[in-house]
Amino acid sequence: MTAPNIGFISLGCPKALVDSERILTKLRADGYTISPTYKDADLVVVNTCGFIDAAVEESLDSIGEALAENGRVIVTGCLGAREDEIRARHPQVLKVTGAHAIDEVVASVHEHLPPRHDPFTSLLPPQGIKLTPNHYAYLKISEGCNHRCTFCIIPSMRGDLVSRPIDEVMVEAMRLADAGVKELLVVSQDTSAYGLDLKYQPRFWRGRSIQTRFYDLAEAMGDLGIWVRMHYVYPYPHVDDVIPLMAEGKILPYLDIPFQHANSRILKLMKRPAASQNNLERIRAWREVCPDITLRSTFIVGFPGETEQEFEELLDFLDEAQLDRVGCFAYSPVKGAVANDLPDSIPEEIKQDRLARFMERQSEISAGRLQQRIGNIETVLVDEVVEEGAVARSQSDAPEIDGLVFIDGATHLKVGEFVSVEIEEADEHDLWAHLA
């Protein structure tokens, strides 16, 4: 008896990826198999993204492709909040759910393709199904967001902050570590707000009471003995407390902290969390406590009303802040976002010009920061072994978004291995090294 077969497409950010992993884990536990092609699948689940208009289009196209090739499609994810739009283009989809609706998706799969009992297919690895390589994993600690940044529609799609109790998160973290994961990437919409909705509820973990809050989580995860990387942290004062844990080597000296702008008027127009903080001072203080800290950030240029002077203030901020890794977007309106109603939208050619000037300034800074690491002995984690050698990442590099460390000739290394290397060359993004 063959098991019912599910095709799966996962679009969007790491938070959506974690939802996909949970859905797949449940489906595998219920005896479904996962098909790499639409044609062999009995039904296809599409986990969509709705962050910007391009992502919406990609999601709608993927649904169309799945319908054309397979015909039986369940849609979930952020774009699911806009069911009318999906049904207007693709009326024949079987079901539409919003983001984070794991049980609803699984129930809908059961309804349209009932599971068959087979004791072998329900044998699951304890860490569940992962879409990432075996040696790293994303760990989602909360869902939703209490902020209302004017350019973002995530809260309307994913709702307000809902944190997972800390003991539940730690059980998952430990399971992943026991299964051989070497690096955990902590994700959420606002990691620094973790536990606020639960009033920092205390829970028992390894015989002691710890609170459901950012610091306690960082400290508890620091005891796992693997790399722990914090994403989507906002510059609230309490973030300062975790920097000593980075200096002690308990968690990675790495902060992914989306500043979005440097000018206080624009930050207020954006309604950014912690908009009134003096970020430059904060960065200085962090580097004093933890000189090796890597700072990654993202910015938006050409936000409605941004003057040339305010943009230049942003360039000055880059010079002062000396951030290691930076992503930048030209502002683009997202359907349903409050910022669309702001006056003085910036003409496209000015936006693109500012984006180019921003990137030019930052790539010099990033290149300079990487040059300073030549001669360092650093620990790296091997991601891939190819014909020419090993491809690894340093503590400063998150998968997919940051740089790589190439170790020419080191084909004997194993994926997921930590090795010590000496950095010998750098460009503005990647490093080259040999085994130390």
Question: Judged by CB, which is closer to ligand SF4: 74, or 145?
Answer: 145
> Min. distance of Cβ 269 from ligand SF4 in angstroms?
13
15 binds ligand SF4 (CB under 6 A): no
Alpha-carbon distance of 85 to 332, in angstroms, equals 20
Establish whether 328 is an annotated binding residue. Answer: no
Q: Are strands 43-48 and 227-230 parallel, antiparallel or unpaired?
A: unpaired
Question: Judged by CB, which is closer to ligand SF4: 279, or 366?
Answer: 279
70 binds ligand SF4 (CB under 6 A): no
Question: Judged by CB, which is closer to ligand SF4: 52, or 198?
Answer: 52
Question: Which residues share a beta bridge with 154?
Answer: none
Tokens 């993202």 sit on residue: 298
Three-state DSSP state, 152: coil
Q: 179-198 mask for ligand SF4 (x: CB under 6 A)?
A: ----------xx--------
Q: Which residues touch 153 (CB under 8 Å, ≥6 apart)?
A: 50, 51, 334, 335, 336, 337
> Min. distance of Cβ 189 from ligand SF4 in angstroms?
4
| Alpha carbon distances (Å) from 435 to 368, 376, 425 | 23, 12, 13
Supply angle C-alpha 357, 361, 363, rounded to 5: 115
Q: Which two tokens stand for residue 179?
A: 């299964």
> Min. distance of Cβ 291 from ligand SF4 in angstroms?
29
Establish whether 78 is an annotated binding residue. Answer: yes
Residue span binding ligand SF4 (CB under 6 A) among the ranges 2-10, 142-150, 168-176, 399-407: 142-150
Residue span binding ligand SF4 (CB under 6 A) among the ranges 13-21, 43-51, 141-149, 347-355: 141-149
Establish whether 152 is an annotated binding residue. Answer: yes
| Alpha carbon distances (Å) from 405 to 228, 375, 422, 435 | 19, 14, 10, 11
> Min. distance of Cβ 268 from ligand SF4 in angstroms?
13
Residue span binding ligand SF4 (CB under 6 A) among the ranges 87-95, 109-117, 146-154, 219-227: 146-154
273 binds ligand SF4 (CB under 6 A): yes
Question: Judged by CB, which is closer to ligand SF4: 189, or 395?
Answer: 189
257 binds ligand SF4 (CB under 6 A): no
155 binds ligand SF4 (CB under 6 A): yes
For 126, counting Cβ atoms within 10 Å of its Cβ (0-12 exposed, 13-18 middle, 19+ buried), the class is: exposed
Q: How far apart, in Å, do the first and last CA atoms of the chain sit?
A: 54
> Min. distance of Cβ 336 from ligand SF4 in angstroms?
12
Among 44, 154, 295, 346, which residue sits at the site for ligand SF4 (rule: CB under 6 A)?
A: 154
**DSSP 8-state code for residue 304:** T
DSSP letter string over 57-113? HHHHHHHHHHHHHTS-EEEEEGGGGGHHHHHHH-TT-SEE--TT-HHHHHHHHHHHS
139 binds ligand SF4 (CB under 6 A): no
339-378 residues in contact with ligand SF4 (CB under 6 A) are: none
Three-state DSSP state, 251: coil
Question: Judged by CB, which is closer to ligand SF4: 32, or 138?
Answer: 138
Would you say 321 and 283 are in contact if contact means Cβ atoms under 8 Å apart? yes
| Alpha carbon distances (Å) from 229 to 140, 179, 184, 193, 297 | 12, 18, 6, 16, 14
Question: Judged by CB, which is closer to ligand SF4: 4, or 80?
Answer: 80
> Min. distance of Cβ 122 from ligand SF4 in angstroms?
36
Q: Which residues touch 412 (CB under 8 Å, ≥6 apart)?
A: none
> Min. distance of Cβ 377 from ligand SF4 in angstroms?
37
| Binding residue numbers for [4Fe-4S] cluster | 13, 49, 78, 145, 149, 152
Name the site residues for ligand SF4 (rule: CB under 6 A).
145, 147-149, 152, 154-155, 189-190, 273
| Binding residue numbers | 13, 49, 78, 145, 149, 152
